[in-house]
Amino acid sequence: MLERIEQAIVEGVVPPDVANAWRAVRADISRLLGLDAPSKSLSVKVDAESSPLFLRFKKSIAGLDELRLEEAFKYLSGLPRTKTAQAPDQSWFPKPAPKTLEGQ
């Protein structure tokens, strides 16, 4: 469709402003009929500076010079880690309704 409009403009059959209006009408029709590909957008703001853990860390390193910071990072990197299984956050999922047995 757009190629035919382009060809009509090139050949001088249709003025550009008429072709542009025609394209806009076709786009509106397509959107109204649901022919366009679905799209979604999401805006999220994450502020790490409000995390209690980050605030504790920031307070702990306040006033350290670059050399001391590097020493702290080296020390922290060398601490042993314990592996923990990450359970999914259940707060995102509704709790199932309790089942009642017939006759109770």
- Residue-by-residue pLDDT tens, the chain, 104 positions: 667 777 877 788 888 888 888 888 888 888 888 888 788 888 888 777 778 888 899 999 999 999 999 999 999 999 998 887 777 777 777 777 777 777 65
**What's residue 103's pLDDT?**
66
The pair phi, psi for residue 39, each rounded to 5°, is -145, 150
**What's residue 77's pLDDT?**
93
pTM of the predicted model as reported, rounded to 2 decimal places? 0.36
**What's residue 74's pLDDT?**
95
Q: How far apart are CA 100 and CA 89, in angstroms?
A: 27
Ranges of each domain in the chain = 2-32
Q: How far apart are CA 75 and CA 68, in angstroms?
A: 10
The tokens describing 22, both together, are: 């025609």
Q: How far apart are CA 69 and CA 67, in angstroms?
A: 5
Query: Is residue 36 within 8 Å of residue 30, measured between CB atoms?
Result: yes
**What's residue 75's pLDDT?**
94
